[in-house]
Each structure stands twice: as structure tokens, then as C-alpha cells.
Amino acid sequence: MTESLQRAEQDPGPGPGRWESAKQRAARLAESAKGAPERIPLVGRAVSNLIRVNLLDNATRLAAQAFLSALPALFVVAVFAPATLKNSVTGSLREQLGLEGSAQQQVQQLMQTQSDGTTQSIGAIGALVTLASATALSRALQRVCERAWEMPKNSARLALWRWVVWLLGWLVFLVVQVPMRKGFGAGPWLGVPLTFLASTAVWWWTQHLLLGARIRWYPLLPGALLCGVAEVGLGIASKVYLPHAMTASVEKFGPYGVVFTALSWLIVLFTAITLALVLGRVLSEEPALSRRLGTRTERGRW
């Protein structure tokens, strides 16, 4: 009888005592979770930087600018370009967005459009306007880089040529990306490492260019490496996911399905890129890396 009473006191049962005990345990777990960033500085700084940069908001803005301004600029360049470049652009879009069937035919028809002299002269003005508006993607990406590194906004006068240069570099990289992924005919065993190295180099150069060379090269390397990993991983995933998603979306929504799926995929892509840039800054400030990369010295110069 005595043993039964002792067990009853230790186990309050389903009544109020059990509820109070559960609340106390939950409170202890919550306090422990709040202290996790202090116990693990890397995690705490990563979470703090992601909140400050506003990851999803900036990724969505980058995706919208890429879809509304950069992709039309790519179409304009292809329309005025030789047939070889048109084929490269078509192939790049097909690989990047998983275009198949009717969606692919529509893009090919757009690229093969021929115009008379009058339309070409009017189109040249439109092409210049389109290319100028496409720098909106450069500007949005510059703001993400500046937020990731907590840098003040650079003046438009000093950054204007950088926006144009980055846009042209991005268009060139997008065109050569398809044969590069195929290893220039050698296969994926060469294409995957080539794509990783090229993506890393492009994003390394992108950060240095859009930040106005205010950050030295070495501290930008971790973010560039993470961007390279993200692009290779998403490139492989796109071959599996996008064709099926694009086909299903077109069957359900018609031509608008291409828009929905492409925009969704761009959001995923730029979320990964923004995440990589922010985490790259966090990693570059880790004591083990900062001494080798000169990050602390660079921060002291700010």
C-alpha cells in the first residue's frame, strides 16, 4: 500500500499535476532552444544574417526581375543574333527551364522570327530599352550582395557600368552553359566539374564586381563555392523535376503554365543563391578561415 502511494506521488497521472509537469518541461526546452545560437556561434550568426537579409523576399524579387527583364533581354539578343547563337539560347532555355513539347516549339518560333528592315530599325530601339531595363536584375543582385556584407549602397553613377557588364557576362555564361554541362561532348564526368568551376568563378567575379571591389577577393570565395554547389545541384535536380512539372502545368493551365513553373523554379534558384551568398559571408568570418582569407583585416578597413 505504501509503495502504491509513493508511485502515485511520483506520477501525478492525467490530472493537473501531469499538465503542470509538461508545461515546465516545455519551458525548459524553449529556454534551451533560445540559448542554442549563443552555444553555437556559427548557427546564431547564420540565422541572424538570414533574417537581416530577408531571404525569401529578396529571392522572390530576384526571380521576378530575372523573369520580367533579363529573360526578355535574352530573347532580344537572340532575335538579332546569328543562327548559331539562337540555337545556343534555345538550348540553354530548354535545359534551364525544362521546356518540352509545345512550350519548346513556341520558344523556337520566337527565336526564328524574321523581320523586315522597318521592323528591325524599330526593334533596335526596343532592344536598347529592353537591355537597359534588364539591369534591374543587376541592381537587385547588388543590393543582396551589399546586405549580405552589410555594405552601404553604392552610388548609381559608379555602379552603372558594373550593372551592364554583369548583365552581358551573365548572358554569355547562360549561352555557353549547355555545352559546358555536357562536357563539350565528353559527357557529365567532365561537364559537372566544369560547371562547378565556371559557376564558382562567375559568382566570385559577380560579388567583387557588384560590391564595387570594396571587398577583397579571398573573403568572397566561400560564397562563390557555395553558389557553385547550388547551381550544380539544382541543375541536376532540374533534369528530373522540371520536364514533368512543366508538362503537367501546361496541360492544366495552357501557355500560362510555362510562366508559373518557370517563375517558381527561378524563386528556388535565387533562394539557393541568396542563401549561399549569406552563408559564404558567415563562413568567411569564422576564426579558422578569417585568418587565411584576411576577412578580419577587411572588416577592420570598412
Tens place of pLDDT for every residue, the chain, 302 residues?
Answer: 445 545 444 555 555 555 566 656 666 655 654 554 445 567 778 888 888 888 889 999 999 888 887 777 766 666 666 666 666 666 666 666 656 665 566 555 555 554 444 445 445 666 666 677 778 889 999 999 999 998 888 776 777 889 889 988 887 887 788 778 877 878 788 888 999 999 999 999 999 999 988 899 999 999 999 999 999 998 888 888 887 887 787 778 776 777 788 888 889 999 999 999 999 999 998 888 888 887 754 444 44
What are 126-130's contacts with CB under 8 Å, separation 24+? 126/76, 127/76, 127/77, 127/80, 130/69, 130/72, 130/73, 130/76
Domain presence at residue 4: no
Domain presence at residue 27: no
Q: List Cβ neighbours of 31 (8 Å cut-off, separation of 6 or more).
A: none
Domain presence at residue 127: yes
Domain presence at residue 24: no
Backbone angles phi, psi at 34, to 5 degrees: -65, -30
Given its phi and psi angles, is residue 152 left (phi above 0), alpha (psi -120 to 50 degrees) or beta? beta
Centre a 10 Å sphere on the Cβ of residue 128 and count the other Cβ atoms it contains.
11
Query: Which among 25, 179, 7 has a CA at the least distance from the CA of 89?
Result: 179
Predicted local confidence at residue 62, as pLDDT: 92
Give the three-state DSSP class for 13.
coil
Q: List Cβ neighbours of 104 (8 Å cut-off, separation of 6 or more).
A: 90, 94
Domain presence at residue 227: yes
C-beta separation of 279 from 223 below 8 A: yes
Domain presence at residue 199: yes
DSSP 183-251: GGGT-HHHHHHHHHHHHHHHHHHHHHHHTTT-S-TGGGHHHHHHHHHHHHHHHHHHHHHHHHHHHHHHH
Predicted local confidence at residue 252, as pLDDT: 81
Domain presence at residue 187: yes
Residue 245, CA distances (Å) to 60, 234, 239, 252, 261 in order: 20, 15, 11, 11, 7
In total, how many domains does the chain have? Answer: 1
Give the Cα separation of 254 and 278 in Å (integer).
37
Domain presence at residue 32: no
Predicted local confidence at residue 114, as pLDDT: 45
- Global pTM reads 0.77
Domain that holds residue 68: 59-301
